């Protein structure tokens, strides 16, 4: 299986194959233009994506009709340099080689092509760059079985003096969606637009015929820029690159070099690459959840990533908090699971989202983001008092949601009901089988997750503190403190599994305990809802062989029917999950255990070339000497990268 390479910066992503090609399989470079005019979308995932839309699906360079093969590559997070040679017989040396430097930037791509002689003879060469755009929505590309009617779409290509312009439009029920791609080339290119009657995929070809002298070079630059049709939807207010701080291990002090320093440098570089202008609020810079399919704002992910990396990237948290406040629910909308005061789960500006064919344009299907928002608001540092004062009304609305529609006052706990058209499970473990008993049987109905009660307790405690210190409302502070105390006591009575001395994963709609032993308990350490005695039980269990693999904490403890080490949420290891537990252990005074987990995460990162993935297998070194890869895990992922930064910090302490 060929896994595309990923370049990402400021909400723009390039997934590509060998030699910087898109949409090209072996031997098909010459035929790449055959994709143009096809009625169907391309069947591959490669492409240049801006705003969840594939704005290039073919990008194929050939020389004299011959495919190019990769001869070497240097890969960065948002750029790469690739050497390519023509395909020849074993004993026939190529007369030239090509060096391509590709750079992803906000809303576009730059491809610098350099042809370099490797022959004592002059060469006459014809380069052809075939390109096409199918404007596929990422929900289509993911191939999850859903289909969508796009029969009203129109695509047009036209030649420009220096390149091509590809335009896509579709309207539905009074809503409009448009994308425009402009490809500009130097080197006096011959420009050939290609489409067909009623084409859904449009593109063209840029070609150059050159004379390459012995030891000579020939260079050309091609720029791709995407116009999203609305300044508020684009990757940046002016289309420019988003500047982010980069930390390299060579810049760290001598004491920081080595495992912790290397982990910190790579983790922060990964996190920086995901920083993007918030969809619809481009003046705010937020961490996208991750590549490839979550390159947008997710409320839960953004808060956790910003909190785990707060020491090293303090500027993330204020923008995340403000973005969540500005997109907070204001009305009842069952399709989007929106309610007044509720914090958004995800924002998307892709075609299917904008035109209402999926509910994820602004979707509120998470039960925990609202409480996490209050936690984040309380963690804002010095110099942010004016923002905290400004968001008092938003905080009151969030508390009102927790106590009202969230279920805290009526049912005693914050809970969710599965969304049949969206997410069945609405905690961070949101796969369909994430909430199950130890025997593997699934739960249904209203669910109160244990970690959500911890977030809620901490969020209300933070709101009470702010009410007393900044908002001048001591009476409300007293009320909130009473609510938090009562929640903590109820939690102890209802969630604690006496035989196991461990909290239940959840309560079902009838108030029965979901008895699987799960890593969610580590989040209770992070929130601080547990007593000292309860925390000690949880810490010792989480670092036992049931949970700890040597590289991280399993999402479900081994030895239960529900355990599966290569499942998404049923026994795998998620770095952020492990590090929330580690941070919590450190807060409760279990420094050695916290360092054990942090060191395990650092060792796992070494097996993934320093890039912590979304998740990895829950195997031990006895099973295999390295953590097993989860095939479809996203890298980089914001909260995994932030987990690496948190691990480095604990190791240094």
CATH of the domain at 122: 2.70.98.40
Nearest Cα to Cα of residue 583 among 520, 519, 646, 518: 646
Residue 646 has φ and ψ, to the nearest 5°, of -65, -40
Burial of residue 411 (CB within 10 Å: 0-12, 13-18, 19+) is middle
Q: Model confidence over 423-452: pLDDT tens digits?
A: 999 999 999 999 998 888 888 789 999 999
Structure tokens at 308: 């785990």
The whole-number average pLDDT for the span 135-147 is 84
> Residue 199 domain-assigned?
yes
- Residue 87 inside a domain? The answer is yes
Please report whether residue 363 resides in a domain.
Answer: no
pLDDT band at 504; cut points 50, 70, 90: very high
Task: Quickly state the pLDDT bin for 144 (edges 50, 70, 90).
Answer: low
pLDDT tens sequence across 243-254:
444 444 343 443
Least confident of 89-98, 116-125, 462-471, 602-611: 89-98
Whether 632 maps to a domain, the answer reads: yes
Tokens 């993007």 belong to which residue? 276
Hey, is 112 helix, strand or coil? strand
DSSP assignments along 140-188, one per residue? HHTT-S-----TT-EEEEEEETTEEEEEEEEEETTEEEEEEEEEEE-S-
In whole angstroms, give the CA distance from residue 371 to residue 233.
27
Residue 41 binned pLDDT confidence (cut-offs 50, 70, 90): very low
Whether residue 58 lies inside any domain: the answer is yes
Dihedral angle over CA of 364, 365, 369, 371, nearest 10? 100
Q: Which of 193, 227, 261 is the last residue of a domain?
A: 227
Using DSSP, state whether 443 is helix, strand or coil: coil
pLDDT given at position 146? 76
E strand or H helix that includes residue 608: none
Rounded Cα distance between 2 and 631, Å, is 11
- Per the prediction, the chain carries an average pLDDT of 91
Task: Please report, for the chain, how many H helices and E strands are present, in that order.
Answer: 16, 25
Report pLDDT for 143: 67
pLDDT higher than threshold 60 for residue 276: yes
What percentage of the chain exceeds 70 in pLDDT? 90
Write phi, then psi, for 522 (nearest 5 degrees): -65, -30
Q: Which of 207, 227, 247 is the last residue of a domain?
A: 227
Confidence check: pLDDT of 31 > 80: no
d(CA 32, CA 14) in angstroms, rounded, equals 18
Tell me the two tokens of residue 398: 């969030």
Angle at 624 between CA 618 and CA 627, to 5 degrees: 45
- Determine the Cα–Cα distance for residues 526 and 533; give it in Å rounded to an integer: 15
Q: Does the residue 360 lie in any domain?
A: no
Q: Rounded to an integer, what is the distance from CA 178 to the centroid of its chain?
A: 24
- What pTM, to 2 d.p., does this model score? 0.92
* Distance, first Cα to last Cα, the chain: 41
CB 61 within 8 A of CB 29: yes
- Distance separating alpha carbons of residues 234 and 344, to the nearest angstrom: 20
Residue 427 included in any domain: no
**Domain total of the chain:** 2
CA distances, 402 to each of 332, 426, 502 (Å): 15, 15, 25
C-beta of residue 421 within 8 angstroms of C-beta of residue 499: no
Whether 235 has a pLDDT exceeding 70, the answer reads: no
- Using alpha carbons, select from 652, 612, 577, 633 the residue that is nearest to residue 267: 612
- Mapped onto helix, strand or coil, the DSSP state of residue 572 is coil
Specify the pLDDT at position 3. Answer: 61
130 phi and psi, to 5 degrees?
Answer: -90, 135
- Give a yes or no: residue 90 inside a domain: yes
pLDDT of residue 239: 36
Phi-psi region of 332 (alpha: psi -120 to 50; beta: other; left: phi over 0): beta
When pLDDT is cut at 50, 70 and 90, the band that residue 4 belongs to is confident
Residue 40 has pLDDT above 60, yes or no: no
Question: Are residues 21 and 319 in contact, defined by beta-carbon separation less than 8 angstroms?
Answer: no
Q: What domain range includes position 642?
A: 517-653
Mean predicted confidence (pLDDT) in 530-555: 98
From residue 295, give the alpha-carbon distance in Å to each of 232, 321, 461, 636: 17, 18, 32, 10
Rounded to 5 degrees, what are φ and ψ at 631? -50, -45
Of 181, 200, 227, the residue that ends a domain is 227
Tell me the pLDDT tens digit for each residue of 155-201. 999 999 999 999 999 999 999 999 999 999 998 999 999 986 666 78
**CB neighbours (10 Å) of residue 173?**
7
- pLDDT the model gives residue 218: 97
């Amino acid at each position: 299986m060929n896994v595309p390479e990923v370049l990402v910066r400021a909400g723009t992503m390039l997934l590509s194959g060998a030699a910087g090609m898109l949409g090209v399989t072996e031997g098909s470079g010459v035929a790449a233009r055959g994709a143009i005019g096809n009625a169907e979308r391309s069947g591959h995932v490669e492409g240049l994506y801006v705003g969840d839309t594939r704005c290039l699906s073919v990008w194929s360079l050939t020389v004299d009709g011959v495919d190019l093969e990769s001869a070497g590559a240097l890969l960065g997070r948002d750029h790469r340099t690739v050497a390519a040679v023509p395909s020849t017989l074993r004993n026939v040396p190529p007369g030239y080689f090509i060096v391509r430097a590709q750079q992803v930037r906000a809303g576009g791509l730059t491809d610098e092509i350099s042809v370099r002689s490797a022959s004592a003879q002059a060469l006459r060469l014809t380069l052809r760059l075939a390109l096409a755009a199918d404007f596929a929505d990422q929900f289509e590309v993911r191939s999850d079985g859903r289909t969508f009617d796009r029969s009203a779409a129109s695509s047009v290509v036209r030649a420009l003096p220096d390149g091509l312009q590809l335009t896509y439009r579709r309207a539905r029920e009074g809503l409009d969606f448009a994308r425009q791609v402009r490809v500009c080339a130097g080197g006096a290119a011959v420009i050939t637009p290609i489409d067909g009657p009623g084409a859904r995929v449009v593109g063209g070809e840029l070609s150059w015929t050159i004379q390459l002298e012995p030891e000579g070079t020939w260079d050309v630059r091609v720029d791709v820029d995407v116009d999203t049709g609305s300044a508020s939807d684009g990757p940046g207010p002016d289309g420019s690159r988003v500047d982010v701080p980069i930390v390299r291990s060579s810049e760290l002090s001598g004491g920081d070099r080595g495992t912790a320093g290397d982990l910190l440098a790579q983790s922060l570089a990964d996190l920086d690459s995901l920083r993007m202008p918030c969809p619809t609020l481009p003046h705010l810079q937020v961490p996208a959840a991750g590549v490839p399919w979550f390159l947008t704002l997710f409320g839960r992910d953004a808060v956790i990533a910003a909190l785990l990396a707060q020491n090293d990237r303090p500027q993330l948290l204020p923008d995340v908090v403000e973005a969540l406040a500005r997109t907070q629910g204001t009305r009842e909308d069952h399709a989007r699971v929106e309610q007044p005061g509720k914090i958004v789960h995800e924002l998307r500006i892709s075609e299917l989202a904008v035109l209402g064919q999926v509910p994820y344009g602004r979707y509120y299907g998470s039960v925990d983001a609202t409480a996490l928002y209050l936690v984040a608001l309380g963690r804002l540092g010095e110099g942010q008092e004016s923002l905290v004062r400004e968001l008092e009304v938003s905080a009151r609305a969030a508390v009102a949601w927790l106590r009202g529609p969230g279920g805290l006052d009526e049912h005693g706990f914050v809970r969710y009901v599965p969304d049949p058209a969206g997410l069945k499970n609405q905690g961070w473990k949101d796969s369909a089988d994430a909430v199950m008993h130890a025997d593997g049987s699934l739960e249904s109905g209203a669910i109160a997750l244990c970690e959500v009660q911890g977030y809620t307790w901490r969020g209300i405690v933070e709101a009470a503190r702010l009410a007393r210190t900044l908002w001048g409302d001591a009476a409300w502070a007293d009320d909130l403190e009473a609510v938090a105390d009562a929640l903590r006591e109820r939690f102890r009575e209802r969630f604690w599994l006496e035989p196991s001395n461990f909290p239940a994963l959840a309560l079902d709609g009838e108030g029965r305990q979901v008895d699987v032993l799960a890593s969610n308990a580590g989040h209770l350490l992070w929130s601080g809802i547990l007593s000292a005695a309860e925390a000690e039980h949880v810490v010792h269990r989480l670092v036992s062989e049931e949970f700890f693999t040597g590289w991280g904490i399993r999402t479900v403890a081994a030895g239960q029917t529900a355990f599966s080490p290569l499942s998404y949420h049923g026994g795998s290891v998620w770095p952020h999950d492990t590090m929330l537990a580690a941070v919590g252990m450190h807060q409760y005074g279990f420094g050695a255990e916290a360092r054990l987990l942090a060191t395990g995460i650092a060792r796992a990162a070494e097996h993934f070339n320093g890039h912590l993935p979304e998740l990895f297998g829950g195997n031990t070194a006895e099973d295999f000497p390295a953590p097993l890869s989860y095939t479809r895990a996203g890298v980089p992922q914001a909260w995994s990268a932030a987990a690496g930064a948190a691990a480095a910090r604990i190791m240094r302490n």
